[in-house]
A and B are shown apart, each in its own frame.
Chain A
Amino acid sequence: MIMRFIYQLGSPPYFYALSGRLLPWLSGICLILFATGLYGGLVLAPADYQQGDSFRIIYIHVPAAWMSMFVYMVMAFSGAMALIWRIKIAEIILINSAHIGAVFTFLALVTGSIWGKPMWGTWWVWDARLTSELLLLFLYLGVLALYSAIDDKRKAARAVAILALVGVVNIPIIHYSVEWWSTLHQGPTITKFDKPSIDTRMLIPLLLMAVAHKFLYAIVVLLRARNDLLWRERRSQWVATLFKDGS
C-alpha cells in the first residue's frame, strides 16, 4: 500500500497534479500559522526575566535552526531513494531542498550572531555548536556546487546524493554538541522527555512558528520541484498535453 503510493508519487504527471492540488491548502495553513505564531510571540508572550524583549529572536532563530537539520534529513532521505530506486522525483526534491536548507542555515547563523553580540558579548565563537552548524552550511553549499559542476543532471543527482548521505553524520553532532562538550551556546530548552524550561506562554508561539516553518519549506520545495520537473520533462507527452490549450 505505502510502496504503491511511493511508486505512484514517483510518476511525474501524478506528482505534478497532486502537488498542484495540495499547494493552496498548504499556503492557507502556513499563513494562519505564521500569523498566530508571530502575534503570540511578538505581542502576547511576556518579556524574559534576563533578556527582556531581545529573547523574541528565538521565534526565528530556533525554527530556522531546527529546519536546517530537518531539511538536511529530507535531502539525505531523498538521496537514498534516488540511489536505490532511481526515482526522478526524489532527485528533484534532493537538489531543490539544498537551496532552502542553505537559506535556513544561514538565517540560523545570522540571527544567532545578532543575538550573541549583546547577550554573550561576541558575534561569533568557535565552539562546537556554532562550528558544526557552519559546517552544515558548507555541506549545503558543497551539494549545490557539485550539482552544478556535472552536466548530466541524473548523474549529478547521484553524486550529490552520496555527498548528502556522508554529511548526515554531522546532524547528531550538531544536536548533541551542547551536551557532549562545554560550549558557549546554551543547552537544549525543549527536550522530549523533560518538561521544557520555558514558560508556556513563550513556548506555544515557538511551536506554532516551528510548524509554520515546516509548511513554508513544503510550499517552497513543491513550487521549485514543479518548475524543475516541467523543465526536465519539457519534451515529454504529458507536459505537451498540459499546455496544449494555452493554460
Chain B
Amino acid sequence: MHPLRKRRLILIIIMIIGVATATGFALVAFNQNLMFYFSPSDVQAGKAPVNRLFRMGGIVVDGSVKRSDTSTEVWFDITDNEKAVTVKYDGILPDLFREGQGIISKGKLNNKGEFVAEEVLAKHDENYMPPEVAASMKKKLPEDIKE
C-alpha cells in the first residue's frame, strides 16, 4: 500500500478506537441511568428512589389480579421470582397484559408499601409461535412458558 494511504488508514483506525473508548467510558459511567426499570427485589431492598417516579419491571403473579367492581382500578403483584410488590393502577391495561406476562410500570411507592402506577406497559418477549404450538408447550413445560 502507498505510504500516504497507509497513514490515512492508520489515522482512521486510531480515530474509531478513540471514539469507541470515550463512548465506552461514558456508557459505563451512566450505566445506572440507562437502566429502564428496577426489579421488585431492588424495590424491597430500598434501592429505588423514595417520593420520586421510577419504573418497576417484573412478571404478573398468577391469580393476583383483582379488579374493582365500581371503577377501572386494578391490583396485582409483580415478581422477579424472588420478591413481589403489589401494584395499584387505575386505567386501561395494554393488550399483552395477563397473568404470567412481563410488565413495566411507572409510579411511586405509597406508605402502605404498594406501588401506585401511573402507567403500565407490557413487555413482549422474543418468542413468536402459533397458538397450537404454545398450547402444546404449555402442557409439556409449564415453567418455561411462564417466564
Structural contact, A49 and B104, CB atoms closer than 8 A: no
Instruction: Give residues of chain A (70-103) contacting chain B, Cβ–Cβ below 8 Å.
Output: 80, 83-85
Structural contact, B119 and A121, CB atoms closer than 8 A: yes
User: With the chains together, A118 CA to B92 CA distance in Å?
Assistant: 11
Q: B133 near A: Cβ within 8 Å? A: yes
B: contact size bracket: 35 or more
**How far apart are B135's CB and chain A's nearest CB, in angstroms?**
8
Structural contact, A182 and B12, CB atoms closer than 8 A: no
**How far apart are A43's CB and chain B's nearest CB, in angstroms?**
14
Chain A residues within 8 Å of B94, by CB: 118-121
Structural contact, B93 and A121, CB atoms closer than 8 A: yes
With A121-B119, A166-B15, A166-B19 already in contact, the answer to whether A50 and B130 are too (CB < 8 A) is no
**How far apart are B94's CB and chain A's nearest CB, in angstroms?**
3
Structural contact, B8 and A120, CB atoms closer than 8 A: no
- In-complex Cβ contact of B23 among A173, A187, A199 (8 A): A173
Q: B125 near A: Cβ within 8 Å? A: yes
Q: B143 near A: Cβ within 8 Å? A: no
Structural contact, A186 and B19, CB atoms closer than 8 A: no
Closest chain A residue to B39 by CB distance? A182
Closest chain B residue to A46 by CB distance? B130
Structural contact, A186 and B34, CB atoms closer than 8 A: no
**How far apart are A121's CB and chain B's nearest CB, in angstroms?**
3
Q: A247 near B: Cβ within 8 Å? A: no
User: With the chains together, A57 CA to B69 CA distance in Å?
Assistant: 36
With A197-B126, A198-B129 already in contact, the answer to whether A84 and B12 are too (CB < 8 A) is yes
Structural contact, B36 and A181, CB atoms closer than 8 A: yes
B-contact 0/1 string along A171-189, CB 8 Å cutoff? 0010000001111101111
Chain A residues within 8 Å of B75, by CB: none
Chain B residues within 8 Å of A198, by CB: 127-129
Q: B67 near A: Cβ within 8 Å? A: no
Closest chain A residue to B33 by CB distance? A181
Residue numbers of A with Cβ under 8 A of B are: 46-51, 54-55, 58, 80, 83-85, 118-122, 125, 127-128, 162, 165-166, 168-169, 173, 180-184, 186-189, 197-199, 201-202
Structural contact, B27 and A173, CB atoms closer than 8 A: yes
With A165-B16, A187-B126 already in contact, the answer to whether A121 and B120 are too (CB < 8 A) is yes
Structural contact, B119 and A199, CB atoms closer than 8 A: no
User: With the chains together, A83 CA to B8 CA distance in Å?
Assistant: 7
Structural contact, A120 and B15, CB atoms closer than 8 A: no
Structural contact, A51 and B126, CB atoms closer than 8 A: no
- In-complex Cβ contact of A47 among B9, B125, B131 (8 A): B131
Structural contact, B130 and A49, CB atoms closer than 8 A: yes
With A49-B134, A119-B96 already in contact, the answer to whether A184 and B16 are too (CB < 8 A) is no
Q: B47 near A: Cβ within 8 Å? A: no
A-contact 0/1 string along B16-38, CB 8 Å cutoff? 10011001000100010011110
Q: B82 near A: Cβ within 8 Å? A: no
Structural contact, B8 and A197, CB atoms closer than 8 A: no
Structural contact, B16 and A168, CB atoms closer than 8 A: yes
Chain A residues within 8 Å of B95, by CB: 51, 54, 118-119, 121
- In-complex Cβ contact of B130 among A47, A54, A84 (8 A): A47
Q: B65 near A: Cβ within 8 Å? A: no
Structural contact, A184 and B20, CB atoms closer than 8 A: no
